Structure 1
Amino acid sequence: MKQLVLSLALLSVIGAGAARAEDLCKVPEAEWQPKEALEQMLKNEGWTVKKIKIDDGCYEVYGTDAKGSRMETYFNPKTFEVLKQD
């Protein structure tokens, strides 16, 4: 029984985190910074940007970071805050 309660509590916390990340990408397009500005910021940080696309209201960037690691990263289109990295 305790495991069930703990599992349900964990799922509710995980679900709340996912909803929060989704909410951060719900920015009106008029408030978005251009993706060229995101690309320039990342290049200044040593990234090699392969592709930037829009996914669920976020900028999704594919490329390699300054260390040469492959990155798939989601950014808030208004603030360029990192929301998720794969």
Structure 2
Amino acid sequence: MHIEYYSQPSEFDRQRSDSLKLRKANPRFARLADQFDDVDKRILRVESGVEKLDDTQLSALKMQRVGLQKDLSSQLRKAAGECCNCGKACSA
């Protein structure tokens, strides 16, 4: 079976590139991104059995990760000149 690969950058690639640029330019974004990475890694350790947490603690970590992800997405949208999803049609 032949598989074609496309050289067009995907939306994920664009976001990753924008994220790397914003990490260098914005200390607050960099700090939030580092926190997200730390929380995400800890969740993976718990889910793989390397670290033990009860269900309540794991749920709290997952909620923290979602909150960080929303903050990061909002900042990425603002940096791209889009509304941060606040509902007020803001722009950067």
Same fold (TM over 0.5): no
Q: TM-score, structure 2 length as denominator?
A: 0.31
Q: In proportion to residue count, which structure has more helix?
A: 2
Q: In proportion to residue count, which structure has more strand?
A: 1
Q: TM-score, structure 1 length as denominator?
A: 0.33
